[in-house]
A and B are shown apart, each in its own frame.
Chain A
Amino acid sequence: MGALIDNLHLGFTTAVTFQNLLYCFFGCLLGTLIGVLPGIGPIATIAMLLPATYALPPVAALIMLAGIYYGAQYGGSTTAILVNLPGESSSVVTMIDGYQMARKGRAGAALSVAAIGSFIAGCFGTLILAGFAAPLAELAFKFGPAEYFSLMVLGLIGAVVLASGSIVKAICMIVLGLLLGLVGTDVNTGTSRFAFGIPELSDGIGFISVAMGLFGFAEIIVNLDMKEDREVFTSKVKGLWLSWPDFKESIGAILRGTFIGSALGILPGGGALLASFASYTVEKKFTKNPTPRFGEGQIRGVAGPESANNAGAQTSFIPLLTLGIPPNAVMALMVGAMTIHNIQPGPQVMSSNPSLFWGMIASMWIGNLMLVVLNLPLIGMWVQLLKVPYRMLYPAILVFCCIGVFSVNNNSFDVLITVLFGVLGMSFIKYAAEPAPLLLGFILGPMMEENLRRAMLLSRGDPTVFFTRPLSLTMLLMAAALLAIIALPQIAKRREETFVED
């Protein structure tokens, strides 16, 4: 406990410098902005800003990028409530009851419960992160290549849960991602693989190009192809404070959402999106005779998922910081950000870079505080922003994406290859294959091959090594159990329902 306080002290002294506070604020602001705006998410934004963070000190860069992610969770709820569009994928569930509340003139209550719930969840998530990180990192030092391989299998199977639709298709997307990650020079032998003799491919396909093409560009095209109706409840936002009965009604949901979110965030493959779905399902099940009913403006339907997605966003940093395994696509980008600054994500970050590690955690708490201020009193500003038509917005997004991709290596090839991935992303959308698992596979591909090779080398080609080492076996069993659970007909059906939830 004493050590934890010492560590947090170190964290706060790092985070509360003028520069780091500034970047924390900037990240939160930007996160709220892109959270509010539909059609651009944290994946595209972080990918866009990665090259720009090159010039910053590593702590400031990571503080800012983290701020974008959890800031987006706050901002997303505003759009969900006021416009009935998911500003952020994880606020899809918030739309169901939040928008109904807004239609009944209770937009203020919905917005404030979302912000307060998020704040409580954020604080709790940060505490969990601080408390769990050290023991988990301790455990990670016991990991050999076999354990790492099994952990990645578990993480990737976990990612399947995150994807909507067919499980087999989601696994296919993961495998495709793993294969795409292998393009380039093989580190062990120097053989150039799948590069078609193109020198630009010898270092592999740029991660940012893949992310931009699959997420950034494909999303813009989809948005352009469907005409949207926006009805913004601007005049009706008043009473931005939670009344006592409302608070009493929602506090239970907030706490439950926080716990669910924190737990699911730690799991590989989890994160904000899954957390909000799970929380909504729980609330719907556990509330007896709700008035108004769920789907008609029930405040718990906003409080629970919004708390859950923020807690999940926070705790999903745990696998990244302690094991070096990104649990979702945004964390995969954070790996990229750390690599740019020559930091190898994993258990050693905490010991070799303590100020970075604890500074980032402390900044998350500060960031959550900033976000409450940014979101509640300044709500009017964000509402104004929603009036900017999409036709003005997407060319700007496109410009920033293109410049971002180009500036990674000052290479035209990287920009051109995003076009290919944009078209591929469109195909995925047309065939209802979620691209998020692919991105995760893409990051893990080389790591997985490396650890598989090492493990097999150490065991002299005996594949049973993955089943005889207890830690490795445990993780493989967990992966198998996870697969079995989601494949059960009953749960598969329930899962389908959760994802199409009216």
Chain B
Amino acid sequence: MRIKDQKDFYAGLMFIIFGVLTMWLSQSYNMGTAARMGPGYFPFWLGGVLAALGAIVFFKSFGHVEGTVEKASTKSSVIFILMMVLSLGAGAIGLAGPNGALAIGTIAGCVVAIFVGERSMGLILGSVGLFGLFIKAIGVVICTLGLVWIAAIASHEFKWKETAISSTVLAIMAWAIFVKGLGLQMPTWVDTGELQRMFITDVKTDAPADANTDAPKADASKADAPKADAPKADAPATTDAPKSDAPKQ
């Protein structure tokens, strides 16, 4: 008995893990009864169904093998787990608020992805992660430029001049369409206050002076060294600072 279908083997494993995790997490919520279901009831049993079905997929992936087995790459799953662990870990030990912690996890994961051979995934998603991290602080124009440059490198046919033109055009278009045309509430340009809040410990909005030296440095390092951001972003931003996001509707 060997693994006859690697894709099913890992897919089954993934479903089992998700299912068991859900069941385990659901136990901390009130179960209730069938007539009066608590918040834990539905997810607990649904998690059970997922784990059971996952087990079917898993066990059916074993069998008699003739010839070679098609390999299934697990890199993206490993990176996903890494991102989750880093994000939740960073949040748990209080390195950063929810946004910062998620940024640390995802961007670090993308950097790892680039080094383990998932280059286009690392670059594309890394550029998205950086966009998400910086959009509030440096605005849509510069973020678009950065996004296009990093993403363009992922292509096999990357060209400097072409990217210079297309990034400029897209940055102008993004501003013209979304900010001017549709009138969306978007951060357009660098917001130094927000930048300070992101990177400097214990900054109070009324004391920006001592932060000036650090802000430009942080800004400059962002363009080409995504890794450098991760440790910086984790500066224990006073817990409510990154939460200045508009309350969700």
List the interface of chain A (C-beta within 8 A of B).
Answer: 51-52, 55, 166, 168-169, 171-172, 175-176, 178-179, 182, 186, 188-189, 191, 193-194, 196-203, 217, 220-221, 224-225, 227, 389-392, 394-396, 398-399, 401-403, 406-407, 409-420, 422-424, 426-427, 430-433, 449, 452-453, 456-457, 459-461, 463
Contact = CB atoms under 8 A, between A and B. Distances in A.
Contacts of A423: 76, 79-80, 83, 109, 113, 121, 125
Contact of A224 (B98, B124, B136, B184): B124
B223 to A, nearest CB: 16
A176 B15 contact: yes
B248 interface: yes
Contacts of B163: 395
Main secondary structure of the interface of A (DSSP, over half): helix
B189 interface: no
Contact of B25 (A194, A402, A424, A430): A194
Contacts, number: 248
Interface of B: 7-8, 10-11, 14-15, 18-19, 22, 25-26, 29-30, 33-39, 42-43, 46-47, 49-50, 53-54, 56-57, 60, 72-74, 76-77, 79-80, 83-84, 87-88, 91, 98-99, 102-103, 106, 109-110, 113, 118, 120-121, 124-129, 131-133, 135-136, 140, 143-144, 147-148, 151-152, 154-159, 162-163, 166-167, 170, 174, 178, 182-186, 243, 245-246, 248-249
Summarize B's interface: helix, strand, loop or mixed.
Answer: helix
B53 A416 contact: no
A402 B183 CA distance: 17
A415 B125 CA distance: 10
B148 to A, nearest CB: 4
Contacts of A399: 144, 147-148, 170, 174
Contacts of B183: 55
A191 B39 contact: yes
B99 A172 contact: no
Nearest to A175: B50
A395 B106 contact: no
A224 B34 contact: no
A403 B136 CA distance: 12
A412 B136 contact: yes
Contact of A178 (B10, B46, B98): B46
A430 B73 contact: yes
A430 B154 CA distance: 19
A452 B44 CA distance: 14
B152 A403 contact: no
B178 A403 contact: yes
Contact of B120 (A169, A202, A224): A224
A452 B42 contact: yes
B245 A411 contact: yes
Given A169-B11, A176-B18, A409-B246, 9 more contacts: A199-B98, A200-B248, A224-B124, A395-B152, A401-B128, A403-B144, A420-B102, A423-B109, A449-B42
Nearest to A441: B46
Given A178-B46, A409-B246, A398 B99 contact: no
Given A169-B11, A179-B47, A217-B124, A396 B135 contact: no
B99 A416 contact: yes
